[in-house]
């Protein structure tokens, strides 16, 4: 079992940047594929990005490609989400998530992930 705690959210103007962090504890961090999802008010939770166990593979949702970067430090049990060129439509609660299932099909489906953080709010003003 793994516990996930996100940090780094906040209020930023459009065009600005934020870096989210997700600290994991309780299990072998490198055994998990890690991901970020987000949920805006009145909308379903949606996939943002994911990274494989060894950081050799990453995947991004189309709206964030070229602006967001996921990375991980297995020695620090932490996954990061660097968000640049933020837009008002990026406003949402961002969730860190982990799954034991390997990297591959169904990566973008929230139901395939085993553990979730409590979320951190990101608000982008226009």
CB-based contacts of 26, cutoff 8 Å, min separation 6: 1, 2, 3
Per-residue confidence (pLDDT) for residue 3, from 0 to 100 = 96
Per-residue confidence (pLDDT) for residue 105, from 0 to 100 = 76
**Residue 96: enclosing H or E segment and its boundaries?**
strand 92-99
Per-residue confidence (pLDDT) for residue 27, from 0 to 100 = 82
Q: Across residues 12-35, what is the average pLDDT?
A: 96
Q: Is the pLDDT of residue 29 over 80?
A: yes
Q: What does the CA dihedral 65, 2, 27, 25 come to, rounded to 10 degrees?
A: 80
- Rounded CA-CA distance 100/112 in Å is 9
Q: Across residues 20-30, what is the average pLDDT?
A: 94
- Rounded CA-CA distance 1/28 in Å is 9
Per-residue confidence (pLDDT) for residue 11, from 0 to 100 = 98
Per-residue confidence (pLDDT) for residue 116, from 0 to 100 = 98
DSSP strand pairing (68-73 vs 78-83): antiparallel
Per-residue confidence (pLDDT) for residue 117, from 0 to 100 = 98
Average pLDDT, the chain: 96
Q: 119 vs 26, which has greater pLDDT?
A: 119
Using one digit for the tens of pLDDT, what is the confidence trace for 50-102? 999 999 999 999 999 999 999 999 999 999 999 999 999 999 999 999 999 88
- Rounded CA-CA distance 5/119 in Å is 8
């Amino acid at each position: 079992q793994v516990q996930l705690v996100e940090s780094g959210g906040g209020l930023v103007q459009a065009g600005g940047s934020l870096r989210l962090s997700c600290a994991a504890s309780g299990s072998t961090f490198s055994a998990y594929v890690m991901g970020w999802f987000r949920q805006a008010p009145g909308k379903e939770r949606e996939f943002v990005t994911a990274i494989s166990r060894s950081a050799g593979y990453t995947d991004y949702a189309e709206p964030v490609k070229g602006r967001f970067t996921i990375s991980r430090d297995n020695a620090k049990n932490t996954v990061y989400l660097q968000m640049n060129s933020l837009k008002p439509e990026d406003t949402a609660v961002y969730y860190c998530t982990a799954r034991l299932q390997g990297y591959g099909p169904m990566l973008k489906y929230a139901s395939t992930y085993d553990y979730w953080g409590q979320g951190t709010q990101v608000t982008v003003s226009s």
